[in-house]
Structure 1
Amino acid sequence: MPQLSLHSPLGPLTLSEEDGKIISLDWGWGRDQTETPLLCQARDWLDQWFDNPSALGAFPFPLEPYGTPYQKKVWAVLQTIPTGSTTTYGELAQKAGGSPQSVGQAVGHNPIPILIPCHRVLARNGLGGYSGDGGVDDKVWLLELEGVALPQRA
C-alpha cells in the first residue's frame, strides 16, 4: 500500500492509498514513502489547506475509508459540513440516523481525519473529544484555523 508523509503544523502526517483512493490519514511519519500521483496531489492539497482552508473547499480526491456501512454513512455526512462550520453529535445523528452516541463512536473511528472533517463535530455542551495525536488541542487548533470562534477553555 503506497504511503506518503508530510510535515504539517500538527506534526507529521501520513496519507495511505489503495486502488487509486485515499484510505487513511495517520499522525506520524510512515515507514514507506511512495510518490504516486494521487498521494502527491493530496499532500500538496493539504499543504495549501493548512495555509488557507477556506480557499479550497472540500477535499477533491477520492476517499475510500474502511468501516461498517453505518460508519461510512456518518463519514459521508461529515463531508457535507462546510469549512468554518460546525455541527453537534445530535444534529449529525438526525442526518445520518442513529443516536448521538453511535455517531460519536463512528466519528471517533474516522480513518481519514481532516479530509473527512470530524473536528467540525461538537458536543452539545462543549468541544467533545478528538482522536488526533494532540487530542482536543488539535481539534481546537483546526477549528480556529478555519475561523470558528470557540469559547475560552479553562
Structure 2
Amino acid sequence: MTPQHPTTTALPRHRRVDTPIGPYLIAAEGEALTGVWRQDQAHFPRPERLGEEAPAQDPLLAAAERQLLAYLAGEREAFDLPLSPRGTPFQQQVWKMLREIPRGGTTTYGGLARGLDRPRAAQAVGAAVGANPLSIVVPCHRVLAADGSMTGYAGGIETKQALLRLEGVLLA
C-alpha cells in the first residue's frame, strides 16, 4: 500500500484559480478531481460540496491548477488528471463521450445522442452536458446546437467562445 501524501485528504477541498478567462474553483476528494467551475456559473456547487480551502501544497490541486493555466495559455493540449465527477450513469456516459471530442473538434447534442444509440435523447444529453462538473477538463464547450450555434454554456457563452477560439474552432 502506498502511503498518502500528508496534505491529501478524502474530504472535499478546493482552490481558487485566477485564469485569463475569469476566476475558477477547482475541487477534489481523495486522489481525484471532482470539479472545475467558473466562479458564479450556473450549477455552481453548494459550499459543502467544495469543502475547505486546500493548502497551497496540495499536490492534486496544484497539478490541476498548473494544467488548467497551461491549457488556457495554449501550452497544453489535454489534461492528465484523475477524475471522479459525481453524476448518474447516463451523465457519466455523456461525460465520457465529451472526453473523446478532440481539441479543435466539435459535435452536437444530437450527435452525442446518436453516439449513445439514443437518437431522441438530445435534450437529455443537453441536460447532462450542462451538469458537467469538470468544465474545460471534460470539454462540454465543444458541443454546439444542430445548426452550429452557441447554446447553453454554464460558464457563459463568452467563455465558450473564448475556449473555442483558443482551440482554433473560431477565428479570433
| TM-score computed with the length of structure 2 as normaliser | 0.79
The code of the aligned residue for 1:11 comes to: G
| 3-state SS, counterpart of residue 33 of structure 2 | strand
Distance 1:97 1:65, change over 3 A: farther
Question: Offset of 1:70 from its aligned partner?
Answer: 0.3
Percent identity, aligned pairs only, is 40
What is the CA–CA distance in structure 2 between the aligned matches of 1:49 and 1:140, rounded to whole Å? 15
**Which of 151, 154, 171 is 1:131 aligned to?**
154
Q: Give the Å deviation of 1:15.
A: 0.7
Instruction: Work out whether residues 13 and 29 of structure 2, in 8 Å CA contact, stay in contact via their aligned partners in 1.
Output: yes
CA contact (8 A) 2:161 2:170 kept: no
Aligned-residue CA RMSD (Å): 1.7
Higher deviation after alignment, 4-13 or 105-114 = 4-13
Among residues 104, 114, 118, which one is paired with 2:126 in the alignment?
104
3-state secondary structure, aligned to 2:138: coil
- Tell me which residue corresponds to 1:142: 163
Q: Which amino acid aligns with 1:5?
A: R
Name the larger-Rg structure. 2
For residue 3 of structure 1, the aligned residue among 14, 28, 38 is 14
Q: Which of 18, 34, 58 in structure 2 is aligned with 1:23?
A: 34
The answer as to 2:136 corresponding to 1:117 is no
Q: Is residue 71–residue 78 contact of structure 2 (8 Å, CA) maintained in 1? A: no
In the alignment, structure 2 segments of 5+ residues that lack a partner are 1-11, 41-49
Mapping 1:38-77, distance limit 5 Å: 38-52=60-74, 55-77=75-97
- Paired with 1:10 and 1:96, the residues of 2 have a C-alpha distance of 32
Q: Which runs of 5+ in 1 are unaligned?
A: none
Query: Aligned-pair distance for 1:26?
Result: 1.8
Q: Is the 8 A contact 1:57 1:82 kept in 2?
A: no
**What SS does the aligned partner of 2:152 have?**
coil
Quote how far apart the aligned CAs of 1:128 are. 1.6
SS in 2 for 1:45: helix
